[in-house]
């Protein structure tokens, strides 16, 4: 945070149609990996409107969600959706082994403390719980910067805030150091290799 300027969560201000479309593509890919039943899903970096969790909870009637971000719309809170305001560069205000699925969607590239984020995810997951992670690949950097800074069709502030573009080797190493067994880390590129999707299971 700089001076007295409050940090905002993603989508606290308006997003472009392309931003919305990219988010829809990402969410559509993830829903099948969440699972069924009375599970708890934490969306770490949920955005102000917790769009992913709201879509998920509409489909998974027995699930409960926890949205975590710098700021959240208080009107979203209900008996199935809890709100936790917090900085993902710091320890999470969630108990050990308290969630079944942790989503980190287009978050890691914005963090100064990516390693801590991974450690905290491993801590809050129950045994057998899953991390669902997406982050843009290094090859996406010139594409995203062109779309943001030259064409202005995606949020330039979001792209400017990217701290690092992680490749597969870096991602696997970060998760292994956080405690995930290497054999339980499944990696898939998507969007023509511009984005990356990982499912990591806590043993």
pLDDT at 6: 44
Please check the confidence at residue 25 and state whether its pLDDT lies above 90: no
Helix, strand counts (H, E) of the chain: 6, 7
pLDDT at 63: 97
pLDDT at 11: 55
| Prediction pTM value | 0.89
Supply 135's token pair.
């982050």
What CATH number is given for 39-201 in this structure?
3.40.50.150
Domains in the chain: boundaries: 39-201
Confidence of residue 2 (pLDDT cuts 50, 70, 90): very low
Sheet holding 81-85, edge to edge: 81-85, 64-69, 40-44, 99-105, 125-136, 195-201, 185-190
Q: Percentage of residues in the chain with pLDDT exceeding 70?
A: 87
Tens of pLDDT, residues 54-79: 999 999 999 999 999 999 999 999 99
């Amino acid at each position: 945070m700089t001076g007295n300027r409050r940090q905002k969560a993603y989508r606290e201000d308006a997003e472009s149609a392309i931003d919305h479309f990219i988010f829809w593509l990402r969410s559509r890919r993830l829903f099948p990996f969440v699972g069924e039943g009375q599970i708890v899903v934490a969306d770490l970096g949920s955005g102000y409107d917790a769009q992913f969790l709201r879509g998920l909870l509409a489909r998974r009637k027995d699930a409960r969600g926890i949205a975590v971000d710098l700021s959240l719309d208080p009107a979203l809170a209900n008996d199935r959706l809890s709100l936790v305001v917090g900085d993902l560069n710091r320890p999470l205000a969630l108990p050990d082994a308290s969630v079944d699925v942790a989503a980190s969607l287009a978050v890691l590239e914005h963090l100064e403390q990516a390693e801590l984020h991974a450690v905290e995810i491993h801590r809050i997951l129950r045994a057998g719980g899953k991390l669902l992670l997406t982050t843009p690949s290094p090859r996406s950097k010139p594409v995203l910067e062109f779309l943001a800074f030259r064409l202005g069709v995606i949020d330039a502030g979001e792209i400017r805030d990217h701290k690092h573009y992680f490749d597969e080797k870096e991602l696997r190493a970060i998760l292994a150091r956080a405690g995930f067994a290497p054999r339980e880390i499944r990696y898939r590129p998507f969007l023509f290799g511009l984005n990356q999707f990982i499912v990591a299971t806590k043993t």
